[in-house]
A and B are shown apart, each in its own frame.
Chain A
């Protein structure tokens, strides 16, 4: 007896790149020429976008809520910083080291996170990140504590492109890494593995019935998400050549959640667009008054939760379906 032939074409079609996506990736190129003076900010956007992508993988796809994702970002940042300080200043090697570090931490803590409900997960992730924050704060010999880690000396990328004063190398380096990691993430979420994560998020009771090992999948997703965050942290270290203690702060985790929700969870592009909108708004509004900015940030969060739960991506999707039905 032959197994029934499944029609996989809708899944294949969903996995194919759309024209709008190609256009989207021209944005970083355009930005380079349009805003040559604010490359530092643009690099920050790329790094935060990668960080946000990592949260989208675990929250938007695997459905694990985390209030302490900055822990992995910070681990990656310190790992890359310490490697560079003690002689391994090659950027790509630093990224790999950071990814391994963060993935190991993610793997170990994933077993804590698996247990319990959303609420326990929130508190456990928060607790773990606070522990790491305290550890980094107290191990001053090692991390520099509140003064930050100094003496981070990064070698040229691939031995050819050294980090220049204008941030051109930093920018292209960040964008290239972001693109590669995004491409991998995109493959991942459209793979059978990614689909099974979506299944787990939508109905955790049914997945074991069709033979999907729920816990193993969640562990894997959490570990991958942690590795992504670690890489983002390492990028920040390498482009700024400095690690400050606030890479692990609670506010970074909270802000990240906000960015993701602003953009919309579970679509990868939501993470990128959310970051762009958020960082741009932050840049312009906090110039006016930092306190003012934080107030409206909070207000925006409240409004999003109450009225626009799907974020910018949800809005875009609604607009596109409306355009299609009216035409």
Chain B
């Protein structure tokens, strides 16, 4: 039970980080492999605010998300938007370039070691139920994840902005004709995705760790979430991330000799059998 619970918490983190990728990849059709770099930025911002400036945890995390979102806006405005129409290969190369730059920058400023993090008192400790040890921080993660997932789902399906986003994605030209500022919608969406990644990175230091190799280490996990969940699908991403989290934690616990092999195999099989994702809309293209 404890393993399932830990898996769910890890899954929530994966969801937070990859939902932004799901949007850029699925809705805006941009292969942004550098997505993990935004998560890393959030993580370092958070770690820095906590350890050097003594900012309280609950303030440092939103600040980390805001920093990542800001970086997202700047990069989208200056670089990413030039490549919306480029081939996937170009986008991949471009984002690999960004990853390399992010990794070496992180290395330069923080060194290769894992960043330690001290959680505030009220998030430490465990609640012991019969047969189940619940880490309070894990509980906190799951709560945050659920709230955000519900919020996102509501935003996409019920707000004006969500409608504009869906319109801009389905048919940018017609959306422009209707007076929707497509560029602005894309920029905001990109910022939102990067911000969420930053948030996930900040919250995830305790579970996923934080070192300069972060963007490469977890890129496959993010891609799996998108591939399995169906791109641009919030509910699907959530379920896929939770499944992945549980399988990963359970696999590492029960079958350490197999390691991550199963996860990769599942992704390949998924892509072959259902390219649109487990819960995807079949007419995504």
- CB-CB under 8 A from A120, the residues of chain B are 271, 275
| A302→B223 contact, CB < 8 A | no
| B227→A122 contact, CB < 8 A | no
Q: Tell me if B220 is interfacial: C-beta within 8 Å of chain A.
A: yes
| B88→A119 contact, CB < 8 A | yes
Q: Tell me if B101 is interfacial: C-beta within 8 Å of chain A.
A: yes
Given A127-B264, A134-B260: A65 in contact with B88 (beta carbons within 8 A): yes
| A298→B98 contact, CB < 8 A | yes
Q: Tell me if B268 is interfacial: C-beta within 8 Å of chain A.
A: yes
Count of residues in A whose CB is under 8 Å from the partner chain: 43
| B264→A130 contact, CB < 8 A | yes
B74 to chain A, nearest CB (A): 14
| A298→B261 contact, CB < 8 A | no
Q: Tell me if A181 is interfacial: C-beta within 8 Å of chain B.
A: no
A213-267, CB < 8 A from B: 250-251, 254, 257-258, 261
| A299→B97 contact, CB < 8 A | yes
**Chain B minimum-CB-distance residue to A109:** B268
What interface size band does chain B fall in?
Answer: 35 or more
**Chain A minimum-CB-distance residue to B267:** A127
Of B2-10, B103-111, B125-133, B180-188, the stretch lying at the interface with chain A is: B103-111
| B271→A123 contact, CB < 8 A | yes
Q: Tell me if A316 is interfacial: C-beta within 8 Å of chain B.
A: no
- CB-CB under 8 A from A138, the residues of chain B are 257-259, 261
Q: What CA separation (Å) do A254 and B87 show in the bound complex?
A: 17
| B268→A128 contact, CB < 8 A | yes
Q: What CA separation (Å) do A97 and B79 show in the bound complex?
A: 45
Most buried by B among A119, A120, A122, A130: A119
Give residues in B with beta carbon < 8 Å to A.
25, 31, 79, 82-83, 86-90, 92-94, 96-105, 107-108, 216, 220, 223, 227, 257-261, 264-265, 267-268, 271-272, 275, 285
Contacts beyond the supplied A120-B271, A131-B268: 6 A-B pairs with Cβ under 8 Å: A116-B275, A258-B96, A291-B108, A292-B104, A294-B101, A302-B98
User: What are 28 A-B contacts defined by CB distance under 8 Å?
Assistant: A59-B89, A65-B89, A112-B268, A112-B272, A115-B275, A117-B285, A118-B87, A119-B25, A119-B31, A122-B31, A122-B88, A124-B271, A126-B223, A127-B271, A128-B268, A130-B260, A134-B260, A138-B257, A258-B93, A258-B97, A261-B93, A291-B104, A291-B108, A292-B104, A297-B97, A299-B101, A302-B101, A305-B97
Give residues in A with beta carbon < 8 Å to B.
59, 65, 67, 112, 115-120, 122-124, 126-128, 130-131, 134-135, 137-138, 250-251, 254, 257-258, 261, 291-295, 297-302, 304-306, 309
